[in-house]
């Protein structure tokens, strides 16, 4: 070893995040109780920071005693208007703030940003979606640390909101609780007389393009009538997309990790129980502060295993893989694609939930919600009930008082009769994905697919072909969408518009692979997160029309029938395309982001 390198290896590790509490963990207040203002006391003690105290008095601190003794709790809502997932979070945050104040603490309400996947899907706005996760994490970390908050309660509603909040928790590592904004209620088609949801709209687009969107009970209704009906009735009010899409995938996973109150993930947004949860969160925040329960105490290998179990049992989104890797990487917990495959190999798929099933999160709530499901999984030895949670109790203690799932319910299959004996998430490798890829294979479409490549350099090009009805039926095709990875997109856009259109058009002869990603509402024979991405010179960049490609979930491979020598020769002639953006937030993201197999993190150092 080089002496300089040897000396460098022996240097003490620098701190990963800034963490300088003013008071030690065992500090007491004037009454001999644990001091809860460990961080805020930096600026509120004595007269060391008179300007800071002047600003805080102006912001609402009522008196000197409160200034010196009350802990400061940041209440971070991912609220904005124009998106049902998030439009109600300001009101929930106000309930949290009121409850925090009644606990003798100072509540400071603030906001961070969000981007709606459903609104941006299929357009250039989708490139801003994944990178919003990093901005959310940066925002919450910035306010928590910059304002010397002692704790944080975050209220996310949409999918990137939740991992963004948890990544911030892991960074500042101060007592923290997540309150999920809740799921939307099920929509209903007035014309077709059946439940619908946001995914219905995208699948209908494929049927619309291929002229198969009809009402069999009323042929007089046009396809435009039906599309308008779906658009006006799919989303009946506030709440996140109602199936086992990415938002509900992440909320159930995070609940299984102990970072929310029991039932948070399954309680619909507009239920009174969601408001009661907001009040209870303030009570549990005081417990966390008194017992010094911090996020990195809860973000452990065991809790991530629980999260992955929930994802497999419920048929969760492929985005869960991306977000789980990022949360673990931020918290310093070793988690790899291989770990995810090991869980998938052992855990059954039990839930008949959309997008591949018939029911929705609001339906699961009616039969006991996630606590009742967790009770089954703990009893069956699949979930670890011993992990600590934000209530100060173990997961098993949290769910002990909840009822078991009803005997006659049909949403969650018994452990003895699963939909699939193993998980639906498959990690694939091969000469097309040396660094890994993620497939969502429920088994309903089979476990192996071979077809000839039809290549598109951007998702928009495929969308144009689908809108024209130009993807033929007949021979098996593997549609290849490339240059849509974290760097190449940039932003790794979701491809629900394309995948849903394929389902709606009933193009069962088609599979879809990409270095981009998919919405949790996607289903079918789809593979995403291909690493290395095309923009980084991965083999995906040199796939040609007509190449034979095989997706095999039995051998966990993604390969093309091209020799290693031919791939190397093609790559030697490949030229990296110019970046499509060179300024602004997307350019910064493309410069900083890592690959999808490590969570597409910008926090890589």
Same-domain status, 290 and 225: no
Mean pLDDT (whole number) for 159-185: 97
Quote the mean pLDDT of the chain: 93
Question: Please, are residues 453 and 549 in contact by the beta-carbon 8 Å criterion?
Answer: yes
Same-domain status, 215 and 320: no
Q: Is the pLDDT of residue 139 over 90?
A: yes
Residue 4 lies in a domain: no
Q: Is the pLDDT of residue 604 over 80?
A: no
pLDDT tens per residue, range 364-377: 999 999 999 999 99
Query: For position 366, what pLDDT does the model report?
Result: 97
Query: For position 603, what pLDDT does the model report?
Result: 78
SS3 511: strand
Mean pLDDT (whole number) for 175-193: 97
**Which of 135, 123, 130 minimizes the C-alpha distance to 159?**
130
Same-domain status, 452 and 582: yes
- Active-site position among 519, 522, 559, 597: 519
| Token pair recorded at residue 279 | 């009040």
Please state, in angstroms and rounded to a whole number, the distance separating the CA atoms of residues 346 and 389. Answer: 25
Residue 409 lies in a domain: no
Mean pLDDT (whole number) for 44-62: 96
Confidence of residue 521 (pLDDT cuts 50, 70, 90): low
Query: For position 19, what pLDDT does the model report?
Result: 79
Structural domain boundaries, residue 221: 187-233
- Among residues 200, 233, 266, which one ends one of the domains? 233
Same-domain status, 250 and 381: yes
Same-domain status, 170 and 202: no
Confidence of residue 592 (pLDDT cuts 50, 70, 90): very high
Confidence of residue 520 (pLDDT cuts 50, 70, 90): low
Same-domain status, 321 and 174: yes
With tokens 């911030």, the residue in question is 168
Q: How far is CA 514 from CA 129, 486, 493, 496, 538, in A?
A: 17, 12, 10, 12, 12
pLDDT tens per residue, range 226-271: 999 999 999 999 999 999 999 999 999 999 999 999 999 999 999 9
Mean pLDDT (whole number) for 266-287: 98
Query: For position 5, what pLDDT does the model report?
Result: 39
Query: For position 1, what pLDDT does the model report?
Result: 34
Same-domain status, 507 and 589: yes
Rg, Å, the chain Cα set: 25
| Token pair recorded at residue 359 | 């029911």
Please state, in angstroms and rounded to a whole number, the distance separating the CA atoms of residues 38 and 289. Answer: 10
Question: Please, are residues 230 and 206 in contact by the beta-carbon 8 Å criterion?
Answer: no
Looking at residue 392, what DSSP letter applies? S
Query: For position 122, what pLDDT does the model report?
Result: 84
Mean pLDDT (whole number) for 394-404: 98
Looking at residue 265, what DSSP letter applies? T
Looking at residue 478, what DSSP letter applies? E
Please state, in angstroms and rounded to a whole number, the distance separating the CA atoms of residues 83 and 386. Answer: 37
Query: For position 2, what pLDDT does the model report?
Result: 39
SS3 445: coil
- Among residues 399, 434, 464, which one ends one of the domains? 399
Confidence of residue 523 (pLDDT cuts 50, 70, 90): low
Please state, in angstroms and rounded to a whole number, the distance separating the CA atoms of residues 368 and 490. Answer: 41
Please give the backbone phi and psi of residue 7, each rounded to the nearest 5 degrees, phi first: -65, -40
Please state, in angstroms and rounded to a whole number, the distance separating the CA atoms of residues 177 and 166. Answer: 9
Beta bridge partners of 388: 394
| Token pair recorded at residue 70 | 């009350």
Mean pLDDT (whole number) for 312-318: 96
Same-domain status, 275 and 390: yes
Same-domain status, 212 and 349: no
Residue 37 lies in a domain: no
Q: Is the pLDDT of residue 575 over 90?
A: yes
Number of domains forming the structure of the chain: 3
Question: Please, are residues 502 and 203 in contact by the beta-carbon 8 Å criterion?
Answer: no
Diameter over CA atoms, the chain: 82
CATH number of the domain within which 529 lies? 3.50.30.80
**Which of 283, 253, 252, 265 minimizes the C-alpha distance to 390?**
283
Same-domain status, 433 and 547: yes
SS3 31: coil
**Which of 379, 245, 376, 386 minimizes the C-alpha distance to 302?**
386
Residue 394 lies in a domain: yes
- Among residues 233, 251, 267, which one ends one of the domains? 233
Q: Is the pLDDT of residue 3 over 80?
A: no
Q: Is the pLDDT of residue 135 over 90?
A: yes
pLDDT tens per residue, range 494-511: 987 888 778 778 888 899
| Token pair recorded at residue 591 | 């410069």
153 or 470, which is more confident?
A: 153
Query: For position 500, what pLDDT does the model report?
Result: 78
Same-domain status, 225 and 266: no
Mean pLDDT (whole number) for 403-409: 97
Same-domain status, 452 and 473: yes
Residue 354 lies in a domain: yes
Question: Catalytic: 139?
Answer: no
Residue 407 lies in a domain: no
Give the E-state strand segments of 354-410 in sequence order: none
pLDDT tens per residue, range 98-126: 999 999 999 999 999 999 999 998 889 99
100 or 205, which is more confident?
A: 100
Give Cβ neighbours of residue 207 (< 8 Å, ≥ 6 apart). Answer: 213, 223, 504, 505, 506
């Amino acid at each position: 070893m080089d002496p300089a390198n040897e000396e460098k290896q022996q240097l003490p590790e620098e701190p990963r995040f800034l963490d300088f509490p003013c008071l030690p963990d065992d500090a007491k207040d004037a009454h001999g109780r644990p001091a809860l203002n460990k961080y805020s006391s930096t600026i509120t003690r004595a007269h060391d920071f008179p300007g800071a105290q002047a600003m805080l008095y102006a912001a609402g601190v009522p008196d000197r005693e409160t200034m010196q003794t009350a802990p400061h709790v940041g209440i971070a809502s991912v609220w904005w208007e124009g998106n049902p997932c998030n439009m109600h979070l300001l009101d929930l945050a106000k309930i949290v703030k009121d409850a925090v104040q009644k606990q003798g603490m100072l509540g400071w309400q603030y906001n961070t940003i969000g981007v709606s996947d459903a609104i941006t899907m299929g357009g250039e706005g989708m490139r801003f979606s994944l990178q919003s996760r990093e901005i959310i994490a940066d925002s919450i970390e910035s306010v928590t640390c910059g304002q010397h908050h002692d704790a944080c309660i975050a209220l996310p509603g949409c999918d990137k909101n939740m991992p963004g909040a948890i990544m911030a928790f892991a960074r500042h590592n101060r007592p923290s609780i997540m309150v999920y904004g809740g799921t939307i209620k099920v929509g209903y088609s007035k014309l077709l007389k059946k439940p619908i949801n946001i995914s219905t709209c995208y699948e209908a687009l494929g049927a619309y393009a291929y002229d198969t969107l009809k009402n069999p009970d009323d042929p007089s209704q046009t396809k435009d009538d039906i599309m308008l009906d779906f658009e006006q009735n799919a989303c009946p009010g506030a709440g996140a997309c109602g199936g086992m899409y990415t938002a509900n995938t992440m909320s159930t996973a995070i609940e299984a990790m102990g970072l929310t109150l029991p039932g948070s993930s399954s309680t619909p947004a507009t239920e009174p129980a969601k408001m009661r949860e907001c009040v209870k969160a303030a009570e549990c925040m005081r417990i966390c502060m008194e017992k010094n329960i911090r996020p990195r105490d809860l973000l452990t290998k065991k809790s991530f295993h629980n999260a992955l179990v929930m994802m497999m049992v419920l048929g969760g989104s492929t985005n869960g893989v991306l977000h789980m890797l990022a949360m673990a990487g931020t918290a310093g917990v070793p988690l790899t694609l291989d770990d995810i495959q090991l869980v998938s190999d052992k855990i059954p798929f039990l839930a008949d939930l959309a997008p591949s099933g018939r029911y929705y999160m609001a339906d699961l709530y009616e039969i006991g919600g996630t606590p009742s499901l967790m009770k089954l999984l703990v009893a069956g030895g699949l979930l670890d009930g011993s992990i600590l949670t934000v209530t100060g109790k173990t997961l098993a203690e949290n769910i002990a008082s909840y009822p078991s799932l009803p005997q006659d319910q049909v949403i969650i299959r018994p452990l003895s009769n699963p939909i699939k004996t193993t998980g639906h998430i498959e990690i694939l490798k091969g000469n097309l994905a040396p660094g890994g890829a993620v497939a969502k294979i429920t088994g309903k479409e089979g476990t192996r697919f071979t077809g000839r490549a039809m290549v598109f350099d951007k998702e928009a090009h495929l969308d144009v072909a689908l809108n024209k009805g130009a993807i033929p039926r007949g021979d098996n095709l593997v549609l290849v969408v490339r240059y849509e990875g974290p760097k190449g997109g940039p932003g790794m856009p979701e491809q629900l518009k394309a995948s849903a259109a394929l389902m709606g058009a009933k193009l069962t002869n088609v599979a879809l692979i990409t270095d981009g990603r998919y919405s949790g509402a996607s289903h079918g024979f789809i593979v995403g997160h291909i690493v290395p991405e095309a923009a980084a010179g991965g083999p995906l960049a040199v796939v040609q029309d007509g190449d034979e490609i095989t997706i095999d979930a039995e051998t966990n491979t993604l390969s093309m029938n091209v020799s290693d020598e031919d791939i190397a020769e093609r790559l030697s002639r490949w030229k990296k395309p110019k970046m499509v953006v060179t300024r602004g937030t997307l350019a910064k993201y493309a410069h900083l982001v890592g690959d999808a197999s490590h969570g597409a993190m910008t926090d890589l150092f």
